[in-house]
């Protein structure tokens, strides 16, 4: 492998291909279509591989919709919690489906988008999530229309609905029960529509997940209500594909050994800080314990505490696993730290750097 300056994200296309083949199998059995959730992963350098297996992209903003249209192609689903007036002309011109978060938004823009394939996000008032912060059915939630009457009143204006009610759900039994509940609660509405998106948050590419049962369940649901089913995999598409590669730059002793790396949780793996989760290191075992810390000025900039077979030294490489989702789309310039490069290990095992950043990128990000 080429000599690379740390830090960098390393995407392995063979690992990505493993997930994509599982997505293709689900599509073959279920008849569902799968659109990539750009809010999780939008590194368009690997879109040429992903578009062979997926049906398009789904977005949460105008910029994501534009990226999907320009770099992925195929279907473009444009969703936003709230569209602005100045965005709608462009959204209309690039999108195959426009999904509104509320009835007032649908009514406000309907005269402009009438004739387009339109959808409405519906909040079913139940969900699966380990975190209140990400729970799409939390109390007072802004996400989607609650209650069936409002949806029924809008049926003459829409072609489909989107239910995004899962977050990292790897429990097939729970998925099956909630899908049955969705059918019971909204079956009369689904019968009158062309398509339904079940959103993302299904961890069906996980090793050991009952993939074929999952796909058959989707097929039965689709046939029962006469709708085209869409899934919006984000993490499921890119899980276990990427390392975040850093290097030890100092070791501090403060009751425990603290190894400082040339990166930052705050700047480069922000989701870990938000959800107070440790990073993952493959095969972390041994007699030597170190807290791994980022080099930002934030005291709580900690990747986690891990055990190593050998004592760490300045210059040692530390690789954090499963680092694709919600990292490259969230990285920032906090403390002016060097932005990680993005590197791809291709199908043929060759390695290429597809993006690097410089001081000028930092400077031009400001004014």
Q: What is the pLDDT of residue 285?
A: 84
- Is the domain of 201 the same as that of 253? no
Sign of CA dihedral 284, 290, 294, 300: positive
Tell me if 6 is assigned to some domain. no
Quote the pLDDT of residue 2: 63
- For residue 203, the model assigns a pLDDT of 96
Give me the residues of the chain with pLDDT under 50, please. none
Question: Pick from 190, 215, 238: which residue ends a domain?
Answer: 238
Q: Is residue 2 part of a domain?
A: no
CB 31 within 8 A of CB 11: no
42 and 57 in a single domain? The answer is yes
- Domain match, 215 and 304 both: no
Domain identity same for 117 and 133: yes
Contacts (Cβ under 8 Å, ≥6 apart) of 350: none
114: phi then psi, degrees, rounded to nearest 5: -55, 135
Asked if residue 46 is part of any domain, the answer here is yes
Say whether both 115 and 179 belong to one domain.
yes
The residue segments making up the domain with residue 360 are: 241-364
Distance CA 128, CA 167 (A): 6
Tell which residue, 76, 113, 114, 79, has the closest CA to residue 96.
76
Peptide bond just before 164 cis, omega within 30 deg:
no
The reply to whether 160 falls in a domain is yes
pTM (predicted TM-score)? 0.96
Report the distance separating Cα 274 and Cα 203, nearest Å.
21
- Please check whether residues 220 and 302 belong to one and the same domain: no
Supply the pLDDT for residue 145: 97
Report the pLDDT value the prediction gives residue 1, as an integer from 0 to 100. 55
Is the residue at 5 inside a domain? no
User: Are 354 and 212 in a shared domain?
Assistant: no
Based on the fold, state whether residues 157 and 268 are members of the same structural domain: no
Task: Tell me if 306 is assigned to some domain.
Answer: yes
Looking at the structure, do residues 82 and 200 belong to the same domain, yes or no?
Answer: yes
| 213 assigned to some structural domain | yes
**Same domain, residue pair 280 and 153:** no
Is the same domain home to 70 and 204?
yes
Torsion of CA 358, 364, 365, 366, to 10 degrees: 130
Domain match, 110 and 151 both: yes
């Amino acid at each position: 492998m080429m000599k690379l300056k740390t830090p960098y994200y390393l995407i392995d296309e063979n690992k990505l291909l493993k997930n994509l083949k599982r997505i293709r199998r689900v599509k073959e059995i279920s008849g569902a279509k799968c659109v990539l959730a750009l809010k999780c992963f939008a590194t368009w350098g690997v879109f040429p591989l992903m578009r062979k297996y997926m049906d398009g992209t789904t977005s949460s903003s105008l910029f994501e919709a534009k990226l999907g249209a320009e770099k992925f192609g195929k279907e473009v689903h444009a969703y936003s919690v709230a569209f602005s007036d100045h965005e709608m002309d462009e959204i209309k011109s690039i999108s195959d489906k426009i999904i509104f978060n509320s009835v007032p938004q649908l009514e406000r823009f309907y005269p402009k988008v009438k004739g387009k394939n339109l959808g409405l996000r519906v909040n079913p008032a139940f969900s699966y999530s380990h975190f209140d912060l990400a729970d799409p059915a939390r109390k007072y939630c802004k996400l989607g229309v609650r209650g069936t009457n409002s949806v029924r009143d809008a049926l003459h204006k829409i072609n489909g609905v989107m239910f995004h009610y899962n977050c990292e759900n790897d429990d097939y039994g729970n998925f099956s029960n909630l899908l049955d509940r969705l059918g019971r609660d909204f079956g009369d509405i689904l019968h009158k529509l062309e398509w339904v998106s079940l959103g993302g948050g299904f961890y069906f590419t996980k090793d050991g997940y009952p993939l074929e049962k999952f796909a058959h369940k989707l097929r039965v649901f689709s046939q029962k209500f006469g709708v085209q089913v869409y899934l919006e995999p984000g993490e499921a598409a890119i899980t276990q594909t990427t390392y975040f590669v850093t290097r030890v730059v100092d070791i501090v002793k403060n009751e425990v050994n603290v190894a400082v790396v040339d990166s930052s949780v705050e700047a480069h793996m922000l989701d870990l800080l938000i959800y107070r989760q440790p990073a993952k290191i493959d095969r972390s075992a041994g007699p030597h314990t170190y807290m791994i810390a980022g080099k930002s000025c934030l005291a709580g900039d900690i990747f986690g505490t891990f055990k190593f077979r050998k004592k760490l030294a300045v210059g040692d490489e530390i690789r954090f696993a499963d680092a694709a989702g919600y990292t490259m789309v969230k990285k920032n310039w906090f403390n002016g730290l060097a932005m990680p490069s993005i590197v791809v290990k291709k199908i043929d095992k060759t390695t290429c750097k597809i993006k690097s950043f410089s001081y000028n990128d930092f400077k031009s990000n400001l004014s």
